[in-house]
Chains A and B, each alone.
Chain A
Amino acid sequence: MDWKRFSFIGVIIVVLFSLVVMVGQVKQPPLLIITSMLATTIAVATPLTLGALSGVFCERSGVVNIGIEGMMLSAAFFGWLGGIYMYNLYGFAPGVSIAVGVFVAILTGAIMALLLAVLSITFKVDQIIGGTVINILAVGLTGFLNRQLFFGKGSVFGGTVPASPGVLPTIHVPITELFTSICGTSATCLESVKAINRVFDQKPVAISAILLVFISHYILFNTRWGLRTRAVGEHPKAADTVGINVVKMRYANVLIGGMFAGLAGAYFTIESVPSFEPLLTNGRGFISLAAMIFGNWTPIGAWAAALVFGASQALLINMQIFRDVIPPQWSFLQESYIVGLTPYILTMFILTGIIGKTTPPAADGVPYEK
């Protein structure tokens, strides 16, 4: 990750934030806008970050994963479904049901990844086709089951969507409490501290995503596992000649990648909103891939890129809030479909390689033949 890339990311984020501050400052103080933007950015970047990590593990070991989208979608559905079953049919407490939901989501991701691994590693199917299979399968499977279980005649839940156990709670980081004494009686100081606190008050998947970025980075570049993973992705024959089992390493990493994508799926239906609708991932698996590429196949780089996309989504959300104060000459910002294009335009722009070319692992996408 070079300075050029990081500065590009920094500039885009600053531009997006400034835009919202400019529009919204008549209604809210800048600090409040910035912290709320930051909080939203981190939250909505979560599935992108996890999706990109999924890609990093798969591709660093030499398996192209364009099935992240499908893995996320099916994990979102089955995780949500798992929670509902536990809560409604077996009568577990909401907390337990939600936890089971997250577990099911991760497991679903792993199962879909196993399918990709069998296709691309064992049967040496073209990996793009393998990933496409997963994407199409996920759309069909979740759409079909969603209809059959909830809306069909004689369906399990008799035509109604039952109450879900809810969503994961926000974890409060006690920054306000710690700094109240420093502020003394100053009300503005207290307001600021509270505003800053909002950035850190995130939900469990969002927090674990950030932790996983750094853990993954360390694993990939400083451990035996990471060295071997990168070796099989760069030059599998070389790894084989020093006694590393290429097939096992690739399977394991694709499964790990699947779990990351599964956790990303859990974000949608268990952390963000407690409901499922067909196609709810809406291309974010593919944007994760763009983030992974722009991050040069490194976890930290991919996270930084995911934050750019998160910021552009935060822009969309915040523009809704400040809809009525957008100056007339900026009226195009009222159109959510124009603002909503930002992440996709950014994706195309980034993938042109204007901001410097990135280098994939040398054996990425190449099946290993002994």
Chain B
Amino acid sequence: MTEKTTTPKVILEVKGVSKQFPGVLASDNVNFDLREGEIHALLGENGAGKSTLMNLIYGLHRPDKGDIIVNEKIASIHSPNDSIALGIGMVHQHFMLIPVFTVAENVMLGDETVKRGSLDRAAVAARINEISKQYGLDIDPNAIVGDLPVGLQQRVEIVKTLYRHAKIVILDEPTAVLTPQEAEDLFRIMHDLTARGVSIIFITHKLKEVLAVADRITVMRAGRVINTVNPAETDSAQLANMMVGRQVILTVDKQDHEATEEILKVEGLSARDQRDLETVHNVSFSVRGGEVFGIAGVQGNGQTELSEALTGLRHPTSGKVTIAGKDLTGKPPRSITEAGLAHIPEDRQRHGLVLSYSITDNMALCDYYRPPFSQHGVIQPKALDENARKLIQAFDVRTPSAFVNAGKLSGGNQQKVIVARELSRPVKLVIANQPTRGLDVGSIEYIHSEIIKMRDRGVAVLLISAELDEIMALSDRIAVMYRGQIVAVVETKNTTREQLGLWMAGAHVETA
């Protein structure tokens, strides 16, 4: 590469860094550099080693080999204290905020301003207001963090790094929890930061964002850096190819399909969460056989409680749920399952699998109590084994044997076990909640194709997802959920990403 004289200086450099974890080489001779005032995107799938690399830079782990060079000096980073002192700040994917603390308390934690032995909250609040004004962040220092929406919590995290005079800010998957509009806001803030000399490492697996916002892009796969490119010289397909290591079909192959009779009917459904707040409010919709009905929405707008109320895991406070003409409101999960429901739950490790059970046992969780799996109340191991062997093959579960504990499998294979168990039964309705969250591209493609297969077989599919792209690719009709209500229902072909984004952000719904 030819360096021009105008090229800004390199502020952070990673040279030949390797890190071995039990069973995985998470970083394999990684080279990476960050220039002053640039947004450098780090692109890769889950498990590609992006977060490991950042944890090494931030001092949460120590590299086995290689150097990290900050401001042209080899830095020895043993803990976050060292990296903070070097001017490195990190915004973690799962926010490192304490919900019961105020913004000021969260920001000052670890770097407290103390006056005569007690916390000087006023001085900290003044600093926060100053930073907030400077970068247009609009944060109230006295608000309780747990009461703030996710987008604002993220800004608190950014303030936290700026409060510590960070010159390098690492953003780990910052857009995962944001609406498209909130993401736009974040990008504006990122540009404001770089304009003032802050350099940003932007970690993501979303191609569109990278192309929109990054100055340079580094792609990682399986612990290695594949390439560093300029956004002007590349496109989505090429980046996807580098990420996955093979040609990727970015769109779901889906033929038009005629919807049949109504399978799931929800009327005026309301439900409360564990804090006793009504998070699902008077929701009505119906899903017909042979269609995928997508529910879009930012996480935490009642989707979890809705799917729990539909699958019998949560008692609705009012309303009616009918599946294939049968009233199943408030019935236990077994009755609903026997009425023809396949449920792919949001949290696969807590609600989808018994992690300490073998794959064989997990494959029979829905039917273990009846023939052929049980005869006269006694489990029939032979029938279980046969079932598992058949499903492992049919659904391509990668495992050394059927006796391996489900907890030992990778996320993608765990999800395949659930999909195999649920979709291999004669069902009428599939409720899939965040079915591809955290999975690799291969598994995502596979699960998408299985969902479309069910639809083409005339099964009704209710798809709940926070990934707008997934909703748009799979659904025939889309409902948008905002603060516990369905604010819009549209045919997929009659809407746009932008329109859905506005609804997800709670923009007023036109009468159309």
Contact = CB atoms under 8 A, between A and B. Distances in A.
A241 B60 contact: yes
A18 B99 CA distance: 43
Q: Is the interface of B mostly helix, strand, loop or mixed?
A: loop
A187 interface: no
Interface in A319-370: 362, 370
B60 A242 contact: no
A222 B81 CA distance: 23
A201 interface: no
B84 A227 contact: no
B225 interface: no
Nearest to B108: A227
B119 A238 contact: no
Contacts of A234: 98-101
B119 A231 contact: no
Contact of B110 (A218, A222, A243): A243
Given A222-B119, A224-B114, A224-B119, A239 B100 contact: no
A228 interface: yes
B109 interface: yes
A331 to B, nearest CB: 45
Contacts of A230: 98, 100-101
Contacts of A242: 80, 84, 96, 109-111, 160
B88 to A, nearest CB: 12
Contacts of A218: 118
B144 to A, nearest CB: 12
A223 interface: yes
Contacts of A223: 114, 117-119
B399 interface: no
Could you tell me the dominant secondary structure of chain A's interface residues?
helix
Interface string A215-258: 00010001110011011001101111111100000000000000
B80 A227 contact: no
B112 interface: yes
B452 interface: no
A222 B118 contact: yes
Contacts of B398: none
B45 interface: no
B190 interface: no
Contact of A224 (B58, B98, B101, B112): B112
B119 A243 contact: no
A44 to B, nearest CB: 33
Nearest to A244: B110
Interface string B88-125: 00101001111111000100111110100111000000
A107 to B, nearest CB: 26
Nearest to A235: B98
Contacts of A240: 60, 80
A231 B118 CA distance: 16
Interface in A52-98: none
Q: Indicate the size class of the contact surface on chain B.
A: 20 to 34
Interface string B402-429: 0000000000000000000000000000
B80 A243 contact: yes
Contacts of B282: none
B337 interface: no
A228 B110 CA distance: 7
B79 interface: yes
A223 B81 CA distance: 20
A240 B79 CA distance: 9
B170 to A, nearest CB: 11
B208 to A, nearest CB: 29
Contact of B109 (A222, A227, A362, A370): A227
Contacts of B60: 240-241, 370
Contacts of B114: 223-224
Contact of A244 (B109, B117, B118): B109
A242 B109 CA distance: 7
A235 B96 contact: yes
Contacts of B99: 234-235, 362
A235 B97 contact: yes
Given A224-B119, A237-B96, A231 B109 contact: yes
A242 B92 CA distance: 12
Nearest to A224: B112
Interface in A249-277: none
A231 B110 CA distance: 10
Contacts of B92: 241
A342 to B, nearest CB: 32
Contacts of A244: 109-110
Contacts of B98: 230-231, 234-235, 238
Interface in B312-343: none
Nearest to A361: B100
A234 B96 CA distance: 11
B119 A241 contact: no
A331 B101 CA distance: 52
B96 A227 contact: no
Contacts of A241: 58, 60, 80, 90, 92, 96
A18 B52 CA distance: 66
A153 B117 CA distance: 56
A243 B105 contact: no
Nearest to A226: B119
Contacts of B118: 218, 222-223
Contacts of B90: 241
B105 A227 contact: yes
Interface in B143-163: 160
A237 B90 CA distance: 13
A366 to B, nearest CB: 14
Ordered nearest first, which 3 A-B pairs have the shortest CB separation? A242-B110, A243-B81, A238-B96
Interface of B: 58, 60, 79-81, 84, 90, 92, 95-101, 105, 108-112, 114, 117-119, 160
6 contacts: A223-B119, A227-B101, A227-B112, A227-B119, A240-B60, A241-B60
Given A223-B117, A231-B98, 9 more contacts: A227-B105, A230-B100, A235-B98, A238-B97, A241-B80, A241-B92, A242-B84, A242-B111, A244-B109
